[in-house]
């Protein structure tokens, strides 16, 4: 990827950087669509008879977008990836301690802290600089099996499977590196992933990002760009997240879900009558009405990510 042209000068606004990050994530996601289908892991929960069936089978203009950390998987993917790299002697113990602190903060606070997440990504970028993308992808497959596979929330995976069973496409949307997100999406049988894009030249990481991390408004831009490229109707799409930072993404779609929500997102979801589900305690969906079938089972950044995935699939 001729990524040098995507670099964003410091003088550009936060919105412009979000746009660039979203476009880069969408482009990268469309490069790596998954083909496997995963098995449905959970049973059918109590249904709300008054709700129409959802997802709607055969609606090819609908899709689902899932946040990753604490929505699909317990904890932060970047921390688990860091653990795997430490095991392979990519960095020293003091850096692992740093990763551990960031993960502890994530678990205790229950929300993404932008400063801590940025620190974690900066650490990861410095670690992978000079390594080949293909090398990290291969190692990432091993790390998934070692540290991530048993941290997938069965309930959320079942929700994703419901969309797949209805013939809809399902993407992860995460601030984690797009390579890591793509591996997780493939292993779960999902369509693909939108993630933070690290710059590479001739297949070697430079230690820089394309745009900015795919976080907050950048996620919404990535989804918007991907939807445009895939000719999706966002009003018929669903989005799932645990964090209030993803309200911009959730607000884009006609079917927003708060999964394992933090306090701010829970309050926001209740105010807008969004659907809620919490798998951390085994509590049933608090209405806001989980649909019957659902329980079965800023701008440049968004556009580049969507276009990348789109071009690869074409």
Q: Is 113 a catalytic residue?
A: no
On whether the CB atoms of residues 198 and 180 are closer than 8 A, the answer is no
Going by DSSP bridges, is the β-strand pair 204-209/198-201 parallel, antiparallel, or unpaired? antiparallel
CA dist., res. 170 & res. 10, Å (int):
34
Q: Is the peptide bond before 184 cis (omega within 30 degrees of 0)?
A: no
Which of 46, 59, 60, 69 is labelled catalytic? Answer: 69
231 φ, ψ to 5°?
Answer: 60, 45
Which of 36, 46, 59, 67 is labelled catalytic? Answer: 67
Which of 107, 105, 95, 102 has its CA nearest to residue 79? 102
Q: Is 119 a catalytic residue?
A: no
Burial 19-45 (b: 16+ CB within 10 A, else e): bbbbbbbbbbbbbbbbeeebebebeeb
Catalytic residue positions, numbered = 67, 69
């Amino acid at each position: 990827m001729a990524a040098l042209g995507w670099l964003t000068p410091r003088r550009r606004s936060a919105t412009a950087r979000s746009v660039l990050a979203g476009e880069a994530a969408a482009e990268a996601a469309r490069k790596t669509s998954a083909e496997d289908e995963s098995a449905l892991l959970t049973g059918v929960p109590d249904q709300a008879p008054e709700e129409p069936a959802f997802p709607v089978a055969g609606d090819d203009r609908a899709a689902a977008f899932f946040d990753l950390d604490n929505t699909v998987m317990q904890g932060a993917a970047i921390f688990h990836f860091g653990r795997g790299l430490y095991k392979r002697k990519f960095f020293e113990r003091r850096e692992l301690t740093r990763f551990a602190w960031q993960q502890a903060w994530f678990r205790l606070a229950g929300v993404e802290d932008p400063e801590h997440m940025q620190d974690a990504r900066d650490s990861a970028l410095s670690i992978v600089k000079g390594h080949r993308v293909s090398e990290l992808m291969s190692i990432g497959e091993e790390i998934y099996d070692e540290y991530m596979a048993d941290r997938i929330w069965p309930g959320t995976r079942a929700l994703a499977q419901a969309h797949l069973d209805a013939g809809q496409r399902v993407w992860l949307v995460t601030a984690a590196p797009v390579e890591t997100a793509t591996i997780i999406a493939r292993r779960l049988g999902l369509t693909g992933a939108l993630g933070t894009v690290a710059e590479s030249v001739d297949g070697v990481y430079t230690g820089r990002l394309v745009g900015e991390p795919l976080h907050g408004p950048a996620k919404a831009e990535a989804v918007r760009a991907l939807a445009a490229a895939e000719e999706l109707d966002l009003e018929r799409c669903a989005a799932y997240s645990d964090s209030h930072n993803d309200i911009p993404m959730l607000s884009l779609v006609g079917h927003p879900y708060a999964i394992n929500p933090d306090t701010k997102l829970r309050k926001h979801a209740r105010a807008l009558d969004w659907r809620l589900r919490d798998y951390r305690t085994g509590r049933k969906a608090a209405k806001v009405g989980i649909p019957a079938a659902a329980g079965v089972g800023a701008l440049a950044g968004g556009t580049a990510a969507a276009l990348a995935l789109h071009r690869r699939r074409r």
